[in-house]
C-alpha cells in the first residue's frame, strides 16, 4: 500500500502521513485511498482554509456543531484561563468543580421541560448510550425490570457506540458491526416525500405511520417498552422535517402506554431550528434530553443528558445499596470543557444568537426552496438554519438515482471545488451553517451551490 500512496500524495507530506497512519471515521476508505485527504489548516468566523490556500464558506458548521463560528476569542480566553486555574477535576466520589455546577444550573434554566439533574459526557454518542443505561437503571430501581426496550426510527441517527449505534437506523452503521443489539426496535421514518403511498395526504401518512408505531408497541407489549427516542429534525438521515401533527400524535400514543420520550437535540439544540430547542419548534414535551455539538460550539468536546427529578430519586437508594452509582466517564464534567460551554451559552444570550438564527433563517429557507424548480431537484426541506436538497433522476416521479452513480457525492465535490462545504447524505445535500452567518453569506452559500448543481447536471448529461 505504501507504493500506492505515492500516486496520491507526495512522500513525507501530511497527506501521505494521513493515508499511512489514520483510520478515518465515517469515511469511504476505498475512495479515501484513491483520492487522498483534504487538509484543513485554519478557520475564522464562517470560513475555512485548506493547506493549499483554498478558501471555503462553511455550509455545515463542521459536523453540525460550530454554532458560534470559528476562532471566537472569548472562548479561547476562557479555556486558557481555566487551564491555568484548574486544568482537570473529576466528578467521581462526590468531587465537583465550579464550571460543571454552573453549567448544569444554566442548562436546567434553559430546558423546555421540568428538568432535574444533568449528567455530562463528551459526545452525542455517549449521551444516547447513557440514556439507554439510565432507562434500564430507572425501571430496575422502581421494580419494572421487564420495561427495557427502546424504540428508535429508521434513518434516525443517535451515535455509533454499541448501544447508540443500535439506536441509529442507517444500514452502514449496522452492517459488519453486528448491530443492532436486542431490545432496540425501529419504526417508520416520518419522511412524507419518500414514505407516502400514491395519493396519500400528509395527514393520512402521519396516521398510517403512527398506527404502525402503535401496532409495534402492542405487539411487543407496552409493559416491555421503556422509551421512544427521536431527533426533532433527523440530521444524518437526510435532514427530514416531520409533517404537521406527527409529534403530537406520537406523544399522545406514548402517554397512553406510559412510554418515555427521549429528545435527541444533539443537532437541533441551541438555536438551530430558529428556537432554543427543536422541542420548542415542534411542540415536544420530552421526558429526558440529550445535547452535544452546539452546547460548546465544538470548541471542546462535551455532551449532556438531562433527566427529571422523579427519575433521579430512585437512583439514590439503589446506589446506596450497591455502594455506588456505577456509571460515568473520566472526563464527565471536565472543568475546561464546562467553562467553555458555559461561556458559549452566555455569548449566545448576550448576542441574541437564537433570534439572529431565526431571522437569517427566513432568507436561508427562501434561498433553499428556490431550487425546487431545478430539473435535478426532487425536494427541498428545512427549518431555521438547517436544510437539505434531494437530487433525483426523474423529477416527475421522484425516482432516485442508482446509488452506484454517487450523484450526491459528485455534487458535494463540485461544491467544494467552488469554495463551499456541504455534506452529501446519499443524494441529499445537507446545509447547516454557523448560526452567526449573515444574509450576504447565505447568498454566497446558495450561489456557489447553484453553480455546483448546474455542473452536476452538465456531468450527468454528458455521461448519458
Tell me: the pLDDT tens digits for 29-41?
Answer: 999 999 999 999 9
**Eight-class DSSP state of 235:** S
CA distance to 250, 264, 442, per residue, from 414 (Å): 40, 32, 18
144 preceded by a cis bond (ω within 30 of 0):
no
Q: What is the CATH number of domain 73-350?
A: 3.40.640.10
* Among 176, 179, 183, 137, CA closest to 159: 179
Angle at 69 between CA 63 and CA 70, to 5 degrees: 90
Cα–Cα distance measured from residue 47 to residue 245, given in angstroms and rounded to the nearest whole number: 38
Domain ranges of the chain: 38-71+353-463, 73-350
Q: What percent of the chain has pLDDT over 90?
A: 98
The pLDDT-based confidence of 5 (bands split at 50, 70, 90) is low
Q: Pairing relation of β-strands 40-44 and 47-50? A: antiparallel
Cα–Cα distance measured from residue 464 to residue 461, given in angstroms and rounded to the nearest whole number: 5
Mean predicted confidence (pLDDT) in 185-203: 97
Mean predicted confidence (pLDDT) in 171-179: 96
Q: What is the pLDDT of residues 122-145, one digit of tens each?
A: 999 999 999 999 999 999 999 999
Cα–Cα distance measured from residue 310 to residue 293, given in angstroms and rounded to the nearest whole number: 27
Stronger pLDDT, 2 or 91, i.e. the higher one: 91
Cα–Cα distance measured from residue 156 to residue 430, given in angstroms and rounded to the nearest whole number: 15
Cα–Cα distance measured from residue 121 to residue 254, given in angstroms and rounded to the nearest whole number: 28
pLDDT > 70? residue 24 = yes
- Point out which residues pair with 42 in neighbouring strands: 49
Take residue 299 and report the three cell numbers written for it: 470548541
Angle at 378 between CA 375 and CA 384, to 5 degrees: 115
Mean pLDDT rounded to a whole number for the chain: 96
The structure's pTM equals 0.96
Contact (Cβ atoms closer than 8 angstroms) between residue 279 and residue 265: yes
pLDDT > 80? residue 160 = yes
Dihedral of alpha carbons 221, 234, 40, 173, sign: positive
Spell out the long-range contacts of 376-381 with Cβ–Cβ below 8 A and sequence spacing 24 or more: 376/453, 376/456, 376/457, 376/460, 377/453, 378/193, 379/193, 381/193, 381/239, 381/240, 381/241
Contacts of 439 (CB under 8 A, 6+ apart): 360, 363
**Eight-class DSSP state of 363:** H
pLDDT > 90? residue 464 = no
The pLDDT-based confidence of 8 (bands split at 50, 70, 90) is confident
What is the predicted pLDDT for the residue at 1?
Answer: 52
Q: What is the pLDDT of residues 104-128, one digit of tens each?
A: 999 999 999 999 999 999 999 999 9
Q: Pairing relation of β-strands 303-307 and 377-383? A: unpaired
Contact (Cβ atoms closer than 8 angstroms) between residue 233 and residue 386: yes
CA distance to 99, 131, 132, 154, per residue, from 165 (Å): 30, 13, 12, 12
Mean predicted confidence (pLDDT) in 54-64: 98
Cα–Cα distance measured from residue 456 to residue 452, given in angstroms and rounded to the nearest whole number: 6
Contact (Cβ atoms closer than 8 angstroms) between residue 357 and residue 432: no
What is the predicted pLDDT for the residue at 446?
Answer: 98
**Eight-class DSSP state of 122:** S
Contacts of 450 (CB under 8 A, 6+ apart): 371
pLDDT > 70? residue 231 = yes
* Among 182, 183, 180, CA closest to 170: 180
Contact (Cβ atoms closer than 8 angstroms) between residue 445 and residue 433: yes
Other C-beta atoms lying within 10 Å of the C-beta of residue 202 = 15
Cα–Cα distance measured from residue 419 to residue 151, given in angstroms and rounded to the nearest whole number: 40
pLDDT > 90? residue 3 = no
* Among 325, 339, 321, CA closest to 77: 339
Q: Give the fold, CATH level 3, of 38-71+353-463.
A: 3.90.1150
Amino acid at each position: 500500500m505504501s507504493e500506492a500512496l505515492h500516486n496520491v500524495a507526495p512522500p513525507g507530506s501530511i497527506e501521505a502521513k494521513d493515508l499511512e497512519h489514520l483510520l478515518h471515521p465515517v469515511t469511504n476508505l476505498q475512495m479515501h485511498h484513491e483520492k487522498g485527504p483534504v487538509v484543513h489548516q485554519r478557520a475564522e468566523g464562517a470560513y475555512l482554509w485548506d493547506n493549499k490556500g483554498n478558501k471555503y464558506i462553511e455550509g455545515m458548521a463542521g459536523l453540525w456543531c460550530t454554532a458560534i463560528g470559528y476562532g471566537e476569542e472569548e472562548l479561547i480566553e476562557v479555556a486558557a484561563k481555566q487551564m491555568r486555574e484548574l486544568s482537570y477535576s473529576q466528578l467521581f466520589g462526590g468531587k465537583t468543580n465550579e464550571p460543571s455546577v454552573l453549567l448544569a444550573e444554566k442548562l436546567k434554566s434553559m430546558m423546555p421541560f421540568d428538568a432535574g439533574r444533568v449528567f455530562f459526557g463528551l459526545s452525542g454518542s455517549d449521551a444516547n448510550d447513557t440514556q439507554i443505561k439510565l432507562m434500564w437503571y430507572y425501571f430496575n430501581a422502581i421494580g419494572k425490570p421487564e420495561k427495557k426496550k427502546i424504540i428508535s426510527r429508521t434513518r434516525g441517527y443517535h451515535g455509533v457506540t454499541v448501544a447508540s449505534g443500535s439506536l441509529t437506523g442507517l444500514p452502514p452503521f449496522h452492517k459488519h458491526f453486528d448491530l443492532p443489539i436486542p431490545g432496540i426496535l425501529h419504526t417508520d421514518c416520518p419522511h412524507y416525500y419518500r414514505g407516502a403511498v400514491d395519493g396519500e395526504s400528509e395527514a393520512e401518512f402521519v396516521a398510517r405511520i403512527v398506527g404502525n408505531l402503535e401496532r409495534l408497541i402492542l405487539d411487543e407489549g407496552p409493559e416491555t417498552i421503556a422509551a421512544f427516542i427521536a431527533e426533532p429534525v433527523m440530521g444524518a438521515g437526510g435532514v427530514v422535517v416531520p409533517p404537521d401533527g406527527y409529534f403530537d400524535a406520537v406523544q399522545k400514543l406514548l402517554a397512553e402506554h406510559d412510554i418515555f420520550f427521549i429528545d435527541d437535540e444533539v443537532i437541533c439544540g441551541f438555536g438551530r431550528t430558529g428556537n432554543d430547542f427543536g422541542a420548542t419548534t415542534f411542540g415536544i414535551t420530552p421526558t429526558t434530553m440529550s445535547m452535544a455539538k452546539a452546547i460548546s460550539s465544538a470548541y471542546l468536546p462535551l455532551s449532556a443528558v438531562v433527566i427529571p427529578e422523579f427519575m433521579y430519586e430512585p437512583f439514590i437508594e439503589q446506589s446506596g445499596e450497591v455502594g455506588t452509582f456505577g456509571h460515568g466517564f473520566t472526563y464527565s464534567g471536565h472543568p475546561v470543557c464546562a467553562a467553555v460551554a458555559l461561556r458559549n451559552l452566555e455569548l449566545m444570550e448576550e448576542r441574541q444568537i437564537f433570534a439572529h438564527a431565526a431571522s437569517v433563517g427566513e432568507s436561508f429557507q427562501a434561498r433553499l426552496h428556490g431550487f425546487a424548480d431545478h430539473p435535478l431537484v426532487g425536494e427541498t426541506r428545512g427549518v431555521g438554519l438547517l436544510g437539505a436538497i434531494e437530487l433525483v433522476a426523474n423529477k416527475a416521479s421522484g425516482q432516485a438515482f442508482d446509488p452506484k452513480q454517487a450523484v450526491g457525492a459528485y455534487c458535494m465535490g463540485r461544491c467544494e471545488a467552488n469554495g463551499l462545504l456541504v455534506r452529501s447524505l446519499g443524494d441529499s445535500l445537507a446545509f447547516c451553517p454557523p448560526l452567526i452567518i449573515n444574509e450576504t453569506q447565505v447568498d454566497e452559500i446558495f450561489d456557489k451551490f447553484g453553480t455546483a448543481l448546474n455542473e452536476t447536471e452538465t456531468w450527468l448529461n454528458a455521461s448519458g
